[in-house]
Structure 1
Amino acid sequence: MVALWWIKRDFRLDDNAALHTAMQQGREVVPVFFLEPAVYLAQDASAFHLQAQLTALADLQFSLRAIGAELLIVKADLPEGFAQLKQQLDFSCIYSHEETGAGVTYQRDIAVAAWCKSENVLWQELPQSGVIRRLASRDKRNKIIAERLFDSEPLDAPSRISQPNLQYLDLFNIPPLHELAPQLLDERISWPSVQVVSERRAQRTLDSFLRERSLNYRGGISSPNKAFFFGSRLSPHIAWGTISLRRIFSRLHQRLSELEAQLDAGNESRLAQRWQKSLESFSSRLFWRDHFVQRLESASYMEFRALNPAYEVLQYTQDTNRLSAWINGKTGFPLIDACMRCLQATGFLNFRMRAMVLNFACFGLHIHWRDLQYPLARVFTDYEPGIHFSQVQMQAAIVGINTIRVYSPLKQLIDQDPECQFIKRWVPELRPYTAEQIACHETMPLPGYVPAIVDAEQNIRIMKDRISHIRKSDEGREAAQRVLVKHGSRLKPKKTKAIPAAELVCGSQVDMFD
């Protein structure tokens, strides 16, 4: 009996439940990855995403060949790709991980399920996170999460995979990005600055974070300058599945136990305490990740309409030039422009700056949150639909259960980039000017740099008034209560050594992206 391991967002051998379950059934297992044009050319897709998958795929192919196994690469949309492969390889089962994706992959999975039923093929999906399918109530999440991520040990990578003869298929070549999708290439991308996504890189990144970089995680991740080093940099690996959350939590627990032992022994107690607090902050953010992905899992319509329907009437500008200026870093607001240009080149930005650029686009520029979703998704190497769509609505302040928060680009400049190092790196036309001159740019325009395209303070006041009016209305209050019941967080169960995160309180603002 031949079974397929359908690789989706799980480019790894270590702690891979889909692969492990397929092997447990005593079957010959064939790993397969489908290069789906409908997915990699979708509205939310980009060169960052496709290159991450191709790199991860090449590393996985290397690891599989090291244990005597082959990986099939099929360029086809689904379920047509499965139908084509079944003519060449008579498989009876498909194993994959559950995926909480955008509408294009959601509809794809529905079509695959229908095809499997018609062809009498068993398709088994396995969870790989704390996101729960068909969750009836969030009150039950904590117990299920503990069972999945903390109360069970990660699965070791296999040393051998039993396979049928595959050489006659000739489906082993991984095409380069420039041949597969040349239309995705963007001259603004600085590929040496883009994080490499692969299982081996994920393990090294986790090691360096736990043993070196995490000491300055608290405080370091707020700065656009420091976050490149002091952030965990695990977000693209988690997003594309080159490492599992369970493996991260397992290693994190080991490291925290070591620090606890140092504290008990009185060795370097101050340093150990500082390290412990940073890692507990990181643990809390990991825990929050699935909270937001769960929203999309439970409300797949979030990509297309507001989670809180009361805010569908909110008015935004019809000026399309503002969107172009924002995405290209030409708004005349130095920190906003620097952040957007950094994203265009590297695919990375720390969470505080991500929240600021999105929040400013909605409040300061009056751009509709729906118009921001896909352009912003395309410049994130670590694009995770569940987090992305949740954060878009949260930063637009249209969920209705969180405190209205507005980021001031000037205040963030003063707090996070006071010497304008980040700004001058990404906005070269501002390099001749002092930090003081750059900070005063809105009132004293600088030759060579675009003036501010809007009166941001006035726009912010207008948008806050519009949102507050909806929030205070009967319809807004009733809708917010329904959102809170279905999608609000719940207090985490009693702390354990396996989950050293802080208490999770509904409405808290945390830095998911680091």
Structure 2
Amino acid sequence: MAATLGRGARACNGGLPLGGNPAISGDMERPVICWFKRDLRVCDHPALARAAALGPVIALYIIEPEGWQQPDAAGRHYAFLQECLGELRVDLAKIGLPLTLKVGDAISTLEGLRQTHGIRHLISHEETGNGWSFERDKRVGAWARAQGVAWEELPQSGVVRRLKGRDHWQAARNAVMAAPLVPPLQACRAVEHVASDPPPTAAALGLTDACPLAPDATRLAAWERGETGLPFVDACMRALTATGWLNFRMRSMLMAVASYHLWLDWRSTGPILARRFTDYEPGIHWPQVQMQSGTTGINTIRIYNPIKQGHDQDPSGVFTRRWLPELAEVPDTQLQTPWVCEGAARILGRSYPAPVVDPVTAARHARDLVWGLRRAHKSDAETARIVTRHASRKRRRRAKPANRQLRFDF
């Protein structure tokens, strides 16, 4: 229990520390729900350890159809979830716990278990999700208070809730991350006779990996399909579509090219990338989407040069050629600019599209517009407010790096 307490766990009903919650201390043998959300593991799981210490446990996962209808959900996410639930089921069985799978909205599910099993305790990790999951958790909190259910949400990451700014974030984050690992459970008492629901298919949830596009959204469609005519951009998008993963630099470039060169609204492109990333994390994804689109108001404008990125990141052309076999006859020296090669007329507009924009002209146009807007609408007070609440407290380095790449001269 020391490790659990060291992670700063607090109860939802009133925010009392665990040791000071009278509702918990008096019901040690009532069934406890451990609600698994985005933390599908058994090792170093403070919420599971806490639940096991309180009484017999229902290890619960809820497939919420409404959550899977959100624009950032995709079929590949659901397929990955099913794999993870399969592994979780095996790991829980080793300590004597069945995985209870329910399909429906969270409040109806939790209320049903409360009525049938006398649940008084609900334990989960804090979740960093999207707007939908945030509103759902507020409704669950209201339900828990109304029904006298003690809901404890335990921190599991560097996200620190209820801070008004970043001044004390690092100390709080370090305290959580420095806490010792929770010892693995050897056995756990299970609540018997809890029925599970069969998981719905992806089709039943209406899930695909496609994102609906407006008929006139030519640039958006070209970007999503990897058919912009900018080879390295297209190779990255096709690789992401096929594998569900890209490194950080390439994710940033895809977003920046969409926002600046193609002048697309981040609210259209952000959900498409969210649906592509198998490792989609809302708390990381959306701040990065806004930063790479230049909409935060405090970050520098990062307009990547897709041609330069192709030369720098794929100097041999192996990656680009793997995903763009249409460019097989283009020489290595012109692979990132096939429109200048001798056989361009045989390729562009036929097996491979011509560029939807001129990358140099488009970048210059975007740079002029964005910096013009910043100068025209600059608000020192608003910038200070954003910095106080969200910006890093790390000191800036005085010496400029010698490498132009590190200066974001892309």
Task: Report TM bin, short chain.
Answer: 0.7 to 0.9
Q: Which residue of 2 aligns with 1:112?
A: 140
The 1-side partners of 2:336 and 2:362 are apart by: 20
Matched, 1:449 2:346: no
**How much has 1:132 moved relative to structure 2?**
0.8
Instruction: Give the Å deviation of 1:176.
Output: 7.1
Q: Measure, in 2, the Cα distance between the counterparts of 1:120 and 1:178.
A: 35
Is 2:87 aligned against 1:184? no
The match for 2:373 is 470
Q: CA deviation at 1:179?
A: 6.1
Counterpart of 2:104, as a letter, is A
Q: Deviations over 1:353-401 (max 9, x none)?
A: 1101110001100001111111110000110101111011110112122
Could you say what secondary structure the match of 2:290 adopts? helix
Report if aligned partners of 1:78, 1:111 keep a CA contact under 8 Å in 2.
no
Aligned to 1:73: 101
Q: Secondary structure at the match of 2:120?
A: strand
Q: CA 1:186 to 1:468, structure 2 compared with 1: closer, same or farther past 3 Å?
A: closer
Q: Does structure 2 retain, via aligned residues, the 8 Å contact 1:5–1:22?
A: yes
* Matched AA of 2:224: I
Residues 402-452 of structure 1: per-residue CA shift (max 9 Å, x gap)? 222211111011111122211111122122332223223244435121100
Aligned to 1:83: 111
AA at the equivalent of 2:330: Y
From 482, 490, 513, the equivalent of 2:393 is 490
- Residue 335 of structure 2 aligns to a residue whose secondary structure is helix
CA RMSD of aligned residues (A): 2.4
Change in 2 beyond 3 A, CA 1:394/1:158: same
For residues 201-257 of structure 1, what are the alpha-carbon distances to aligned partners after superposition, in whole Å with 9 as ceiling and x for unaligned?
A: xxxxxxxxxxxxxxxxxxxxxxxxxxxxxxxxxxxxxxxxxxxxxxxxxxxxxxxxx
In the alignment, structure 1 residue 336 sits paired with structure 2 residue 233: yes
Report how many residues are paired.
363
* Residue 333 of structure 1, CA deviation: 0.6
Q: What percentage of residue pairs aligned between the two structures are identical?
A: 36
> Among residues 139, 145, 153, which one is paired with 2:173 in the alignment?
145
What is the rounded CA distance, in whole Å, between the counterparts of 2:339 and 2:284 in structure 1?
33
Q: Distance in 2 between matches of 1:424 and 1:476?
A: 46
Q: Is the 8 A contact 2:239 2:323 kept in 1?
A: yes
- State the distance in 1 between where 2:203 and 2:293 align: 38
Q: CA deviation at 1:139?
A: 1.2
Alignment-mate amino acid for residue 43 of structure 2: D
**1:170 — aligned with what?**
195
| Cα distance, 1:343 vs structure 2 | 1.0
How far apart are the structure 2 equivalents of 1:43 and 1:359?
21
1:476 is displaced (CA, Å) by 3.8
Matched, 1:158 2:185: yes
TM-score by length of 2: 0.83
Q: What SS does structure 2 have at the residue aligned with 1:91?
A: coil
Q: Kindly tell me: are residues 43 and 347 of structure 1, through their superposed partners in 2, closer, same or farther at Cα, counting changes over 3 Å?
A: same
Is the 1:338–1:427 Cα contact (8 Å) retained in structure 2? yes
Q: Show the counterpart of 1:394.
A: 291
How far is 1:504 from its partner? 9.2
The unaligned stretches of length 5 or more in structure 2 are 1-29
Q: Distance in 1 between matches of 2:377 and 2:357?
A: 33
* Structure 2 residue corresponding to 1:7, chosen from 30, 36, 40: 36
Aligned partners of 2:208, 2:397: CA distance in 1, in Å? 41
Q: Give the letter aligned to residue 23 of structure 1.
A: A
AA aligned opposite 2:139: A
Matched-pair contact (CA < 8 Å) for 2:334–2:340 = no
Residue 130 of structure 1 contacts residue 148 of structure 1 at CA under 8 Å; is this kept in 2? yes
Distance in 1, matches of 2:117 and 2:81, equals 24
- Alpha-carbon separation, structure 1, partners of 2:268 and 2:163: 30
What amino acid maps onto 1:340 in structure 2? M
Distance 1:186 1:132, change over 3 A: closer
What CA distance in whole angstroms lies between the structure 2 residues aligned with 1:468 and 1:177? 48
Query: CA–CA distance in 2 between the matches of 1:176 and 1:419?
Result: 45
Change beyond 3 A, Cα 1:185–1:368: closer
Match in the other structure for 2:71: 43
CA contact (8 A) 1:399 1:480 kept: no
How many angstroms does 1:180 deviate by?
5.0
Mapped contact 1:490–1:504 kept (Cα < 8 A): no
1:19 to 48, 61, 71: 48
Instruction: Report deviation, 1:177.
Output: 4.6
Distance 1:89 1:435 in 2: 67
Amino acid paired to 1:171: S
Q: For 1:171-220, what per-residue CA distance to the aligned partner results, in whole angstroms no more than 9, with x for missing partners?
A: 175x3755654x43459xxxxxxxxxxxxxxxxxxxxxxxxxxxxxxxxx
CA distance in 1, matches of 2:50, 2:225: 46
Contact 2:74 / 2:276 at 8 angstroms: preserved in 1?
Answer: yes
The 5-angstrom pairing of residues 77-476 of structure 1 reads: 77-150=105-178, 152-166=179-193, 169-171=194-196, 173=198, 175=199, 177-178=201-202, 181=205, 183-186=206-209, 320-444=217-341, 445=344, 447=347, 448-473=351-376, 475-476=378-379
2:35·2:61 contact (CA, 8 Å) conserved in 1? yes
Q: Aligned partner of 2:265: which letter?
A: H
Q: What CA distance in whole angstroms lies between the structure 1 residues aligned with 2:100 and 2:397?
A: 43
After TM superposition, give the deviation of residue 352 of structure 1 in Å.
0.7
Deviation digits for residues 90-120 of structure 1 (CA, Å, limit 9, x no counterpart): 2111101111211111111111111112222
Residue 504 and residue 114 in structure 1: after superposition, are their counterparts in 2 closer, same or farther (change >3 A)? farther
8 Å Cα contact 1:34-1:75 kept in structure 2: yes
1:53 matched to 2:81? The reply is yes
Query: How big is each residue's C-alpha offset from its partner over 1:18-43, in whole Å with a ceiling of 9 and x where there is no partner?
Result: 1112223x311111000011112311
DSSP 3-state at the match of 1:402 = coil
Question: Match of 2:338, SS?
Answer: coil
TM-score (norm 1): 0.67
2:90 corresponding residue in structure 1: 62
Q: Which runs of 4+ in 1 moved over 4 A?
A: 176-180
State the structure with more CA Rg. 2
Unaligned 5+ segments in structure 1 are 188-317, 493-502
